[in-house]
Structure 1
Amino acid sequence: MSHTPSPLSDAGAEFDRQVRNLVTRDYPALSGLDAEKFEALVAPLRAEAVALAAAPDTSYDLDAGRIPFLLVVARDVVPIEETMPRTTLHGGRLPGFVDRSFEPGALERFVATEETEAGGLSAYLLYGVERGEEFCGAVPETAMAAIAGRGRTLLTIEEGVALITHFPEALVKNKCFSLGGSRCGDRRVPAIWISKKAPKLGWCWAGNPHTWLGMASAAGRRTPAAGA
């Protein structure tokens, strides 16, 4: 189920595809911007995407859940409650949804951890992304510690949504993923998996392993270069 051509063969074209992907999903209107202003918000990141194509931390193997980079728009620009319904499974039509296990007001408390340094970012690139299926069946807190030990960063909720928005093929049965980069101060860890033939944003306990749920991570994040 390869996504062709490889994003690394023309990173600029891949960046443009991801921008169009967000525009067609009404991100500009949802952010309160017209398409031109929205594209101006993310345009400075294009040069970073091109530079990342040659970085040692980036590779592309969609079957293995490895993506070189993702264009991420944070919730302060477009809320998660609006971005999840604009996801689908690969080849599917049913919209993604936020699980009812998030009690009223809970989702907004799941924010980027200090370790991710993603708080306050509005639009940026996440690079060296891995779905993390090697951690399927592992205790989430053990997986998170292993990822930290490798010098990698855990994905936030917004980044998980970006992954399945730009690469819906990455979400497949028995290879779903937790998003340990967003926490709310308790034992819950957000995750995206498949339910009712659609992507679902839910959560699992940090001490409970699931054979079908890994832990997503990335090499890092890039913002526009100074003066861009």
Structure 2
Amino acid sequence: MPESTQLDHSIAQQIRRLSERGIAELAGLTGHEFRMLAKDTLASAAEASSDERTATVVVHPSLVPAASLAALLERDGKPGFVVEDMTDLEEFRPIGDAPVPDQPLYLVHDIDRGDDMQNWSPDEALAELRTRGRRPLTVTEGISWLLQHPDRLEPGSCFMTIGSRRRTARGLDARTPAIWISGGTGRDGRERRGAPKVGWCWARNRHTWLGFASAAPIVSD
């Protein structure tokens, strides 16, 4: 995976970047309130962090829903969007392999795009991540990562976020969320060509251009 653009990715700078992108307004907070919320919720996690450079600040969906967060993504001046047939995105919640802290902002560490598992199915990839002791990213975590590292979304090298699944009366929905770049075809519309896109793939299908994003396990305080 190519190195990310050399920007300041300290936790403090990530919070400033989120504020500049309009997170506070989406959360119904003032800029000051958002910064204080971040200070209060991330203080202990930041102190416990052995390497702040590996940390990504995640916006919990209770603070800002995933679909609203996706709209803040940007590539070549085009905003991100959620595919039209995924109106139930907010029903995709963390699976047991991807527990999420019950707080509005939290940290995940050592995110990897999972390029080495391109052309694997989500079911195959989840089993492998378990073997590696890795935690699959949720869709909100994937979006939060791209808000800080937009260059991690590349043509031919995008990723799935199989830490999020929708539960049904019969078990798990067969769809798994993914984030890639729109080709501007079909219902996406030509005007969205090249834009970041949150969509889905079947849990047993393979795609040569989708890896499986994962992170180090979250250590509870």
User: Under TM normalisation by the shorter chain, which class is it?
Assistant: 0.7 to 0.9
Contact 1:178 1:214 in 2 (8 A): yes
Q: Specify the SS of the correspondent of 2:110.
A: strand
TM-score normalized by structure 2? Answer: 0.85
User: Hey, what's the Cα distance between the residues in 1 that align with 2:159 and 2:198?
Assistant: 10
Residues 38 and 18 (structure 1), Cα distance of their counterparts in 2 relative to 1, 3 Å cut: same
Please say if residues 15 and 46 of structure 1, whose CA atoms lie closer than 8 Å, have aligned partners that are also in contact. no
| TM-fit CA distance, 1:40 | 1.3
Alignment of 1:133 onto 2:120:
no
User: How far apart, in 2, do the equivalents of 1:175 and 1:197 lie?
Assistant: 13
Task: Name the counterpart of 2:106.
Answer: 124
One-letter amino acid matched to 1:69: A
The alignment covers a number of residue pairs equal to 203
User: For 2:6, which of 4, 14, 31 is the aligned residue?
Assistant: 4
CA 1:35–1:222 in structure 2 vs 1: closer, same or farther (change >3 Å)? farther
Write the distance in 2 (CA, Å) between the matches of 1:123 and 1:2.
Answer: 23
Ranges in structure 2 where 5+ consecutive residues have no aligned partner = 167-171, 183-192
Q: Does 1:20 align with 2:16?
A: yes
Q: Which amino acid aligns with 1:114?
A: G
Unmatched runs of 5 consecutive residues or more in structure 1:
8-13, 61-67
The equivalent of 2:77 in structure 1 is: 93
State how far apart, in whole Å, the 1-side matches of 2:99 and 2:181 are.
Answer: 28
Residue matched to 2:26: 30
Of 44, 55, 64, 1:69 maps to: 55
Match of 1:63 in 2: none
User: Structure 1 residues 118, 47: closer, same or farther in 2, change over 3 A?
Assistant: closer
Q: Secondary structure at the match of 2:111?
A: strand
Report if aligned partners of 1:48, 1:222 keep a CA contact under 8 Å in 2: no
CA deviation vs aligned residue, 1:79-125 (integer Å, no higher than 9, x gap): 12211111112xx10000001121x4x11211111321116332100
For 1:211, the equivalent position in structure 2 comes to: 208
What is the identity, as a one-letter code, of the residue corresponding to 2:83?
D
Q: Specify the alignment match of 1:10 in structure 2.
A: none
When residues 149 and 75 of structure 1 are mapped into structure 2, their CA distance, relative to the original with a 3 A threshold, is same
Paired residue type of 1:4: Q
Q: How do 1:167-182 residues align onto structure 2 when only pairs under 5 Å count?
A: 167-182=149-164
Task: Could you list the structure 1 runs, at least 4 aligned residues long, displaced by more than 4 angstroms after superposition.
Answer: none
Question: How far did 1:174 drift?
Answer: 1.1
